[in-house]
């Protein structure tokens, strides 16, 4: 970084003037202050010097051949590397107009010729102190931002680990779904990333949405921890009453996560996890549960996870069914487009299906 250059022990002061006498006079003052003088006879030389050196203050004449001090100052202020270097104009022009023009160009001060050594010394010292304080503040802010970012990453990792552990509670009850949650996590994130490039979803899907959905999706079936093994692990078809019981897992899961959220200081993933847990069995045509939402009434995160969940269930073996082939599973999903699933999401899903993980 530039901190090493900017915070060098002995400050460098750049003098830009086309008159040698002025340069010699100012050089003597700067050396007497214990600083290192750099000299340029015109604006072009000054710009060449700042490409390799890094002066802490620039003393610059206004009236110079080829390029005026105003022009040089404007160029310096447009450059990210040099824009914060204090520029003090040294000039025989003492009108209000020339000073206003100089301040607009980016100068911080004016010294009027002929020079008074004490005035030059005091002006340089004052602006050098302000510059040092400004650079120290930048370095402090940079370090503070790094510290905050590290802390945020640590907090996010802790939030994720808690929810991963919670999700695993459900997975551990059924040996046949050992890869299900990892598939849901990976595939939901991948589908969300892909939807971001569709004009239909580009405004809804942000980077934060993509980061959250992978973790939140893993908790979609957390409500099943309150469903008995007799029903949850039953081979074959469920009865109507058993189906009613198992359908309750959406509301159960949402309530569990809501209670956790209410007693947690902060967790960025839980609000989306609650939404997914409650609505991932809603259907595009309104025949799903628990609320019978239809089409875009169903939250986007739930629409994504609904499709991914069914795909993984179709391609995987369960206690109540054998696994379908990829081709059979894709055919079923295509047939359910616009009935169970958002047709726009299915369209993108089909384009990326070879990249998806499955059992």
Report the distance separating Cα 46 and Cα 36, nearest Å. 15
Per-residue model confidence as pLDDT tens digits over 254-280: 998 898 888 776 778 889 999 999 999
Per-residue model confidence as pLDDT tens digits over 327-343: 999 999 999 999 999 99
The pLDDT of residue 318 is: 73
With tokens 């239909």, the residue in question is 200
Supply the mean pLDDT for the chain.
86
Helix H or strand E encompassing 349: helix 343-352
- Any idea what DSSP says for residue 82? T
The pLDDT of residue 316 is: 84
Displacement of CA 334 from its chain's centroid (Å): 35
The pLDDT of residue 177 is: 63
The pLDDT of residue 86 is: 93
Across the range 16-21, mean pLDDT stands at 92
Strands laid side by side in the 12-16 sheet: 36-40, 12-16, 57-61, 87-91, 109-112
Q: Which of 259, 280, 281 is nearest to 270 (CA)?
A: 259
**Residue 222 has which token pair?**
């957390």
Does the pLDDT of residue 122 top 80, yes or no? yes
Per-residue model confidence as pLDDT tens digits over 135-183: 888 887 777 667 666 665 665 666 666 676 677 666 655 555 668 888 9
Q: Which of 184, 145, 191 is nearest to 168 (CA)?
A: 184
Q: Return the percentage of the chain with pLDDT > 70, whole number.
A: 88
Across the range 114-120, mean pLDDT stands at 87
Per-residue model confidence as pLDDT tens digits over 80-114: 889 989 999 988 877 888 889 989 999 999 888 88
Does the pLDDT of residue 6 top 80, yes or no? no
The pLDDT of residue 1 is: 39
CATH number for 172-355 (one of 3.90.25.10, 1.10.3210.10, 3.40.50.300, 3.40.50.1820): it is 1.10.3210.10
pTM for this entry: 0.59
The pLDDT of residue 193 is: 96
How many residues are given for the chain? 359
Report the distance separating Cα 51 and Cα 53, nearest Å. 6
The pLDDT of residue 7 is: 47
CATH number for 3-144 (one of 2.40.110.10, 2.30.42.10, 3.40.50.2300, 3.30.565.10): it is 3.40.50.2300
Report the distance separating Cα 184 and Cα 187, nearest Å. 5
Q: Which of 257, 248, 349, 258 is nearest to 303 (CA)?
A: 349
Delimit the domains of the chain by residue range.
3-144, 172-355
The answer to whether residues 234 and 320 touch, using CB atoms and an 8 Å cutoff, is yes
What is the C-alpha radius of gyration for the chain, rounded to an integer number of angstroms? 34
Across the range 238-267, mean pLDDT stands at 87
Of the listed ranges 122-126, 229-233, 257-261, the one predicted with least confidence: 229-233
Across the range 211-221, mean pLDDT stands at 90
**Dihedral angle sign, alpha carbons of residues 334, 339, 343, 345:** negative
Does the pLDDT of residue 43 top 70, yes or no? yes
The pLDDT of residue 171 is: 62
Per-residue model confidence as pLDDT tens digits over 46-86: 999 999 888 999 999 998 988 999 999 999 999 988 998 99
Across the range 284-308, mean pLDDT stands at 96
Q: Which of 69, 78, 13 is nearest to 44 (CA)?
A: 69
């Amino acid at each position: 970084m530039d901190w090493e250059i900017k915070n060098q022990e002995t400050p460098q002061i750049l003098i830009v003037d086309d008159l040698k006498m002025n340069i010699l006079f100012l050089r003597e003052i700067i050396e007497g202050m214990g600083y290192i003088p750099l000299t340029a006879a015109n604006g072009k030389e000054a710009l060449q010097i700042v490409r390799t050196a890094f002066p802490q203050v620039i003393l610059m004449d206004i009236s110079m051949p080829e390029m005026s001090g105003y022009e040089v100052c404007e160029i310096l202020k447009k450059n990210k590397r040099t824009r914060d270097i204090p520029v003090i104009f040294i000039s025989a022009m003492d009108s209000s107009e020339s000073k206003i023009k100089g301040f607009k160009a980016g100068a911080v001060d004016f010294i009027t010729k002929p020079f008074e050594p004490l005035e030059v010394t005091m002006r340089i010292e004052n602006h050098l102190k302000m510059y040092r304080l400004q650079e120290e503040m930048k370095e402090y802010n940079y370090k503070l931002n790094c510290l905050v970012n590290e802390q945020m990453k640590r907090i996010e990792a802790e939030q994720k680990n808690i929810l991963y552990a919670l999700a695993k509670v459900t997975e551990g009850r059924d040996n046949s779904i050992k890869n299900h949650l990892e598939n849901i996590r990976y595939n939901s994130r991948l589908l969300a990333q892909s939807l971001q490039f569709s004009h239909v979803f580009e405004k809804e899907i942000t980077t934060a949405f993509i980061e959250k959905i992978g973790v939140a999706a893993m908790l979609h079936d957390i409500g099943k921890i309150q469903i008995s093994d007799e029903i949850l692990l039953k081979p074959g078809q469920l009865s109507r009453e058993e189906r009613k019981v198992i359908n309750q897992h959406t509301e159960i899961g949402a309530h569990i996560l809501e209670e956790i959220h209410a007693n947690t200081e902060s967790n960025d993933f839980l609000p989306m996890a609650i939404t997914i847990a409650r609505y991932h069995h809603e259907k595009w045509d309104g025949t799903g549960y628990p609320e019978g939402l239809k089409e875009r009434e169903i939250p986007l995160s739930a629409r994504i996870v609904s499709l991914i969940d069914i795909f993984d269930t179709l391609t995987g073996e369960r206690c109540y069914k054998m696994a379908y082939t990829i081709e059979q599973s894709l055919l079923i999903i295509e047939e359910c487009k616009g009935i169970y699933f958002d047709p726009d999401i299915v369209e993108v899903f089909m384009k990326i299906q070879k990249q998806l993980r499955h059992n």
